[in-house]
Amino acid sequence: MIIKEVIDKKREGHSLDSAEIRDFIKGFTKGEILDAQMSALAMAICCKGMSTRETADLTDSMMRSGVMLDWGEGLPTADKHSTGGIGDKLSLIIQPLAASCGLRVPSLTGRGLGITGGTADKLETIPGYNASLNLEEMKAVVEKTSLAMTVQTAEICPADKKLYALRDVTGTVASVPLITASILSKKFAEGAETLVFDVKCGKGAFMKTREEARELARSLVDSSKASKRKSVALITDMDNPLGLKVGNANEVEEALEMLDPNCREKQLRLKEEIDLSVELASRMVALAKGLSLEAARELARTKLAEGAALEKFTQMVAAQGGDLEAFKTMREKAKVRRFRISAMRSGFVEAIDSARVGLVSLGLGAGREKSGDVIDIHAGIDFEVKVGDRVSVGAPLATLVTSTRPEALEANAAMLLKSIAIGHNRKESTSLILETIE
C-alpha cells in the first residue's frame, strides 16, 4: 500500500478496498503511519464519506487493533449506546434493567465533554466506584454480576483512542462514517452481539435535525448488520432535558429513584423517561433473546417493578468498589451554594431549551470544557418543573447548585430563566421516541 495514494483515492471520492483500510489502520496503530497522514485521510473521509461496506471495514480494522472480548457460551451479550444528551442518565437504568432480564452487558461508557455529560463521570460520583477497570477486573465484574460499566480500557480499540484524539483537534469529529466506526468498534470489541442505539435529536443533541439523526441511525444499523450483529436504533427527542436533574451526583440520585419500585410518585412524574428506558431495554432483550417485542416489554416492566433492575445496579456498583451508603452521606454533607429561580409570569411550561441548560450546567462546573478538566460532582440543576406543567408567578422553577463556582450562579441563573419558555399553550405529554430505524 502506498499511503499517499490511499489518501489521494479517498480525496478524489473513490471507495477504498478492504485491504487498504485494514493496512492503513494497522500502520497507524503501530505508529508507521504519521498522525498527519491519518488526519488527512480522516478529513478526506469527512468530505467524501464512505459506503456501508467501507464503514464496516473501518469498524472491523479498529476493532482488531486491540483485544476482543469473547464471553463464550451462556447469556446473550448486548449493549446500548446513546449519542448523548442533557440529563441523559438513562444508561444507569437501561443497562441494569437489560441485565436483570437475563442479558450479559459489558458496557464501555464515555466521559462527558462540552455540554453533554458522561455516564462514567456520573458513576464516579459514588465513593469508591472504579470506572476505569482493567481488562481482568472488567471480566471479573461481568462474571459476577453480568453487568459492568467502565470506560474503554487501554487494550480495547487503541486505534480508536488514537484516531479520536486526532479528530478532536482536526475538525473531523462530525463525520457519520467516522462516528459509526468509532462507536461500533468499541461495542464489537467488548463482545456485544446485539446493539440498540438511542440517537438523540434536537437542541441538546449532537444531531440537531431529524435528517442528521436519521443518517447516523441508518449508518449504525446498516454497518452493524453488515458485521452480522443484530441492531435497531430509536431516534429520540432531545429538545428538552431528560428528567428533573442535570449534573452528575444529582443524576445518580434521580436514576436510583427511577429504579426503585418504592419511588412510584417520581416514576409517574418521569413517565416518558421511564417508558423510553423500558423500550430501549426491551429492544435489547427482544433481539438478544429472540423474544417478541411484547414479551420483552412485559419482562422488562416486571423486572423494573420487582426491583430486580435496582438490585442489579446495586450489585454492579458494589462489584466495582462503589458504596451507595457513603454516596448518600456524602450528598447530605456536601457544602454547596444554591440559587433558586422562580416564574416571572403564569402559564404553562412550553419548552426548556436543553442546549442552554447544558451550558448552564457547564458554567456551574458540572462539565468539561476540554478533555482532562476536573468536574464538580455536586454542580448542576434541580428542576421543579417539566414541559406541560402549569405555573403561577413566583412559583419555583429550578435550583442551580455549585460547590466550586459560586460567582457563576447569578449569570447562569439569568440564562436558565431564559431557557424556560412559559406561555399559554399546554403541551401534552408525548412519547420521546420519534422514529425507529431497523
Q: Which of residues 160-179 bind ligand URA (CB under 6 A)?
A: 178-179
Decide whether 56 or 391 has the Cβ nearer to ligand URA. 56
Of 184, 152, 168, nearest in space to 83 by CA = 184
Residue whose C-alpha cell is 441563573: 413
Using CB under 6 A, count the residues that bind ligand URA: 4
Decide whether 166 or 336 has the Cβ nearer to ligand URA. 166
d(CA 51, CA 199): 20
Q: Which of 57, 121, 160, 198 is catalytic?
A: 160
Q: How far is the CB of 387 from ligand URA (least distance, A)?
A: 27
Name residue 266's beta-bridge partners.
none
d(CA 10, CA 30): 22
Q: How far is the CB of 182 from ligand URA (least distance, A)?
A: 3
Sheet architecture: strand order including 390-391: 390-391, 347-352, 420-423
Q: How far is the CB of 88 from ligand URA (least distance, A)?
A: 13
Q: How many CA atoms lie within 13 A of 383 on its CB side?
A: 32
Q: How far is the CB of 164 from ligand URA (least distance, A)?
A: 6
> Mind giving me the DSSP string for 10-78?
HHTTPPPPHHHHHHHHHHHHHT-S-HHHHHHHHHHHHHH---HHHHHHHHHHHHTTS------SSSPBE
Burial class from Cβ neighbours inside 10 Å (0-12, 13-18, 19+) for residue 395 reads: middle
Decide whether 91 or 315 has the Cβ nearer to ligand URA. 91
Catalytic, 186? Answer yes
**CA–CA distances in Å: residue 258 to residues 26, 291, 322, 382:** 44, 25, 19, 15
Q: How far is the CB of 176 from ligand URA (least distance, A)?
A: 10
Q: Which of 186, 200, 229, 283 is catalytic?
A: 186
The answer to whether residue 249 forms part of the interface with ligand URA (CB under 6 A) is no
d(CA 191, CA 185): 10
Longest CA span, the chain:
69
Q: How far is the CB of 157 from ligand URA (least distance, A)?
A: 9
Of 201, 231, 195, 226, nearest in space to 214 by CA = 201
Q: How far is the CB of 414 from ligand URA (least distance, A)?
A: 32
d(CA 341, CA 336): 16
Decide whether 188 or 327 has the Cβ nearer to ligand URA. 188
Decide whether 65 or 145 has the Cβ nearer to ligand URA. 65
C-alpha cell read off for 326? 457513603
Give the residue at shortest CB distance from ligand URA. Answer: 182
Q: Which of 183, 316, 387, 391 binds ligand URA (CB under 6 A)?
A: 183
Decide whether 179 or 341 has the Cβ nearer to ligand URA. 179
Fill in the amino acid letter for 65. S
- DSSP reduced 3-state for 407: helix
Catalytic, 337? Answer no
CB count, 10 Å around CB of 75?
A: 15
Q: Which of 64, 81, 111, 122 is catalytic?
A: 81
Q: How far is the CB of 55 from ligand URA (least distance, A)?
A: 12
Binding mask 314-353 for ligand URA (x = CB under 6 A): ----------------------------------------
Decide whether 182 or 267 has the Cβ nearer to ligand URA. 182
CB count, 10 Å around CB of 31?
A: 9
Decide whether 77 or 82 has the Cβ nearer to ligand URA. 82
d(CA 237, CA 434): 6
d(CA 297, CA 368): 36
Catalytic, 182? Answer yes
The answer to whether residue 182 forms part of the interface with ligand URA (CB under 6 A) is yes
Catalytic, 81? Answer yes
Positions annotated as catalytic residues are: 81, 160, 167, 182, 186
What are the residues binding ligand URA (CB under 6 A)?
Answer: 178-179, 182-183
